[in-house]
Amino acid sequence: MKARPSLFVSRWLPEGALDVMRSRFELCVNEKEEALSGEELARAIAGKDALLCCVSDKINQEVIERGDRLRVIAMLGAACDNIDVAFATQKGIQVLVLPDALTEATADLAWALLLAVARQIIPAAELIRSGRWQGWDPRAFFGHNVSGKTLGIVGFGRIGQAVARRASGFNMKVLYYDRTRKGSGIEKGLKAKYVSLDELLAASDFVSLNSSLTPESRHLIGKRELGSMQLHAYLINTGRGALVDEKALLAALRQKKIAGAALDVFEDEPRVNPGFLELPNVICTPHIGTALVETRLEMARVIAQDIMLALEGKTPSGAVNHIK
């Protein structure tokens, strides 16, 4: 009987998701609550056919070198900026991402953050929890309306388009910016208008960042871009932390150049700039875009199937590099 391929999973997954993996692979899982160090991860993948990693793992050249049998590196997410794809390709290792399984969950979170920061939900809830609420106050927790406003979406792939679909229920005008303009069918279907980044920032009441991180998009939103936004505008980031120059964002918030921000991702995770935590008009969540039971199970199912395809020499839809 042919031995099943071996897979190392770098972080805990719900048991149902692990069951999906066990049905296909000889499975080894990191049992620690925190991410492994580079040395620990390098030791763990020795002798393994495949690695399933997460955004908290840094899969650099030193780690890849130690994967003596490694043929596939799969990312439990839609982006792989934590993986040295060029070196993996050089070593003949297929790199995979999940292009679609997390779309709806991440778009839902973007909207949850948008509504929460616009309506000051978090500080209002904290007042109740503290026991200090003295009754209705006409001066308390003024926010900004969402319905009928303009939503600017930076990055108009699957997630950005899913964010746009939700905007129709709020009768919002949708602007988008992307490296490539989408077809007229997509624009018409989503009632979205393509504009330059500068136009989007100047016209939007809410700016949602849903772009992937590349060398070109790093600090896409900096001092100049934040200065282009309206004083009453909000920035929502569920893409990647380094899309934003956090020092510039903190300065803009303190100087009231924008109304607020909601951040699920950060430049130097898990470190969060403590300045954000001091501001009542900032919401920070710990990278929970896909933290749904149903989503994680579907992610496990899809990525397990794609890993098997890659090990069989086939090219899954989530492949990000070409292996000869």
pLDDT of residue 13: 87
Give catalytic residues, as residue numbers.
240, 269, 287
The half-sphere exposure of 98 on its side-chain side, counting CA atoms within 13 A, is 27
pLDDT of residue 2: 65
Average pLDDT, the chain: 95
Q: Are strands 206-209 and 282-284 parallel, antiparallel or unpaired?
A: unpaired
The tokens of 219 are what? 């600090």
Mean pLDDT of 177-181: 96
pTM score, whole prediction: 0.92
Q: Tell me how far apart the alpha carbons of residues 173 and 167 are, in angstroms, rounded to a whole number.
A: 8
H-type alpha helices, the chain: 15-22, 38-45, 61-65, 85-90, 103-118, 121-130, 158-167, 184-190, 197-203, 223-228, 246-254, 274-277, 293-311
Q: Tell me how far apart the alpha carbons of residues 151 and 233 are, in angstroms, rounded to a whole number.
A: 10
Residue ranges and CATH numbers for the domains of the chain are 6-101+292-311 (3.40.50.720), 103-284 (3.40.50.720)
Question: Other C-beta atoms within 10 Å of 2: how many?
Answer: 4
Longest dimension (CA), the chain: 74
Q: Tell me how far apart the alpha carbons of residues 280 and 241 are, in angstroms, rounded to a whole number.
A: 20
The tokens of 132 are what? 């200090």
Mean pLDDT of 280-295: 95
pLDDT of residue 33: 87
Question: Residue 317: is its pLDDT beyond 60?
Answer: yes
Question: Residue 315: is its pLDDT beyond 60?
Answer: yes
Q: What is the chain's percent helix, strand, coil content, to nearest 5?
A: 35, 15, 45
